[in-house]
Structure 1
């Protein structure tokens, strides 16, 4: 007799989901639909319209694939050991990458790891063991960098290698201090600029940007409705990308296709127009830029005799000058 269905909530990467389990197996993964018992959604009034996010979460494609990945016949369920590796004898290190692997029991794998830790500490000292944690770490109590991982390593003794800045220093601190945009200390998708954009923006430029396929990992397609709102308000969307990407196909009003790896020439040509036609914000440059004069001299050709004009960029990147 089949058991009853239990539901669980998972709020990690890929969008909050509801997971249905029967007899210990996942049978379905769906978005979470909010009702009147949940907190109300935020609202933004702009240009005579009121905008509010859907009362239903969105899911990233890989979230929908979790069930298939978990029960895939290709999933590795046991530890693997190189067939010619003998932890107590010949390790055959020169065979790494050549010889195959064989499954071993978890107890055997744990013994190998424990004995290696003891050996390294005895021969080289605890500082010989190096460890670090990913910034976008795994979730749970084992791989989570703020949980048992550090407790275990501290008890063992090790050298920690930190890796900052690699992620949030740029989008949080850099964005905040360079152009006044705060993504806050947490996710999902940013909304600090959304109200400003809905009220005032006339055009959005997506330069090598395809958010429909490279959206924030924590929030799935949460930002997609916001781009539809901009379209409803008549905001133009321009895409600069060698490829007609998915977001451009869905929202694009105009698409410029510089040759791959030649977008810099197009950027210099745009800057040339700004400089020669006096279109840039001088107050902003004075407050936020360092070395602008030297850079402007290069763009205008004063440094190397070659003005980076649209005609020059046409040959470099393939986008016709106008």
Structure 2
């Protein structure tokens, strides 16, 4: 009898998940779709085009769709584009490897198909720093500046200690569990119960539409499957960046957080000290990418600077725009 009740709960959750996805898909997407290798990628563009100003292009963190939280503020500075990588948000999944080289090619095709002409001011958050740095290396004539928000560097990521490798494996296992949880509607239920606000109360500072747009992706199995793939191929992405360590005099802002996670009771269960030491080493490497690097710290922020201290990112954008105006 117990197993029948459990099966019934799972079945009802799966039906609820399917109905929820169907209702959301009937709602108009926020941006536009472009065809990339036979897959539909979703882009949102805000702000007016100005031939004297670059287009800000933001690439999300691993599993994040945080651009929705920032696009209104960024678009007041210059026209801004955010793109849901394949498998996230409204974008369809891709059967291709989720490595930085593949993501960069897809992004460039999407920008071209959307008619967004360069120059681009690139913002890469966390894993997005890999992608945007490789984009700047691959298409240097299209890029006028680069902002790396608590970014990564392959010198550290490819040489993690066994303890940190174990932490990475733990995250992957969690993503796999979340695939099941999202399939049966558990994550949708937790969102409805306010779990996201409980985990990050700072999310309340953003408008409801942005919260809904960002968190809807977490309710879908393809979101967690894509996270798993990107983390699985992280080493391959790092190897693809081996030649992207000399970006000339490109204006670059490195934004280090105070700590990977804000210290709390539960962080005692993970090797936070070693993670922070590795992160500090990576920031030293990032400051050597260009002869025109500036570091703007986020002293009150954890890894999620875009939620904890978004004003620091806006400050970084203003500095790069000033550099662009001086060059012109």
TM class, shorter-chain normalised?
under 0.3
Which structure has more relative contact order (CA 8 Å, sep 6+)? It is 2
State the TM-score, normalized to the length of structure 1. 0.23
Greater helix fraction, Structure 1 or Structure 2: 2
Give 1 or 2 for the bigger CA radius of gyration.
1
